[in-house]
Amino acid sequence: MYGQQHSLFHTHHKTGECTDIYQAANDTGFTMFPNDMTSAQSEMYFKGKEEEFFPLPFLPSHTPQDTARDSLELREHNFFTGLLATVTTSQQRQEAEVPVWQVFPSTEPSSLLERWDVSSNAKEQDRVIKRGMRNYGHGRSVHLWEFVRDLLLNPAENCGVLKWEDRKEGVFRVVHSHTFAQLWGKRKSNSGMNYEKLSRALRHYYKSGILEHVGRRLTYKFGAKASGWQDSGFQ
């Protein structure tokens, strides 16, 4: 049902080798989702020491065929960001300069992807991805204020936990403090996160000017050092 096969070739910028990326993806247990693949994405390289990555939309090939809810979310999310990696100095292929193509899941999988338990060797995939991405300054751990900003700018994933009080002034209110802390804890893989700790982290931003003190309960305001909250959002 997913990943109708198209021929889409990608030329390695060093070796010049052409690879059918859908085939490469399927070889590793994932199915490319063709609708959103663009030539721009296929040309997006990040150069690292040992691996080269570029982001791709993909879906796990073993998607569950179950609930309507999943189908709905699939349409909403459209695709997940994955990484197609060429491992040119891989231990697996030391004898050759031939790239080994592998598709890895995003290090920040969407909610749907998390439920799908994408791979049995996800730990190893994550390790390689993180190592590769560090080289590009891409995929660094998100800052709390950026997480807050993105929630506000993306109501579809906000779940109603945050709400703009004064969009123009950057004033927002925490509607569901417990859920808000849970979301942050989930993002940081920290099950011990609660609103007490989260709010302390937010208060640290007063000093740096990322947030400003408002004086109302559960209400915060973006400061001069915060950027991007003026954007219209992702929709």
What does the alpha-carbon distance between residue 196 and residue 173 come to, in Å, rounded to a whole number? Answer: 16
Contact mark string toward DNA, 134..173, x via CB under 7 A: x--x--xx-xxx----------------------------
Complete DSSP assignment for 117-169: ---TTHHHHHHHHHHHHHTTT-SPPPPHHHHHHHHHH-HHHHTTSEEEEETTT
Quick check: 30 binds DNA (CB under 7 A)? no
CB of 51 to DNA, least distance (A): 16
Report the residue number, 84 or 211, with the smaller CB distance to DNA: 211
Quick check: 204 binds DNA (CB under 7 A)? yes
Which residues are CB-contacts of 218 (< 8 A; sequence separation ≥ 6)? 173, 174, 175, 177
Contact mark string toward DNA, 95..134, x via CB under 7 A: ---------------------------------------x
| Residue closest to 81 by CA, chosen among 108, 102, 48 | 108
Report the residue number, 74 or 198, with the smaller CB distance to DNA: 198
| Backbone φ, ψ for residue 74 (5° rounding) | -60, -45
What does the alpha-carbon distance between residue 185 and residue 15 come to, in Å, rounded to a whole number? Answer: 43
Quick check: 47 binds DNA (CB under 7 A)? no
Quick check: 226 binds DNA (CB under 7 A)? no
Q: Which of 13, 49, 178, 186 binds DNA (CB under 7 A)?
A: 178
What does the alpha-carbon distance between residue 115 and residue 129 come to, in Å, rounded to a whole number? Answer: 20
Give residues in contact with DNA (CB under 7 A).
Answer: 134, 137, 140-141, 143-145, 174, 177-178, 184, 188, 190, 192-193, 195-201, 203-206, 208, 213, 215, 217-219
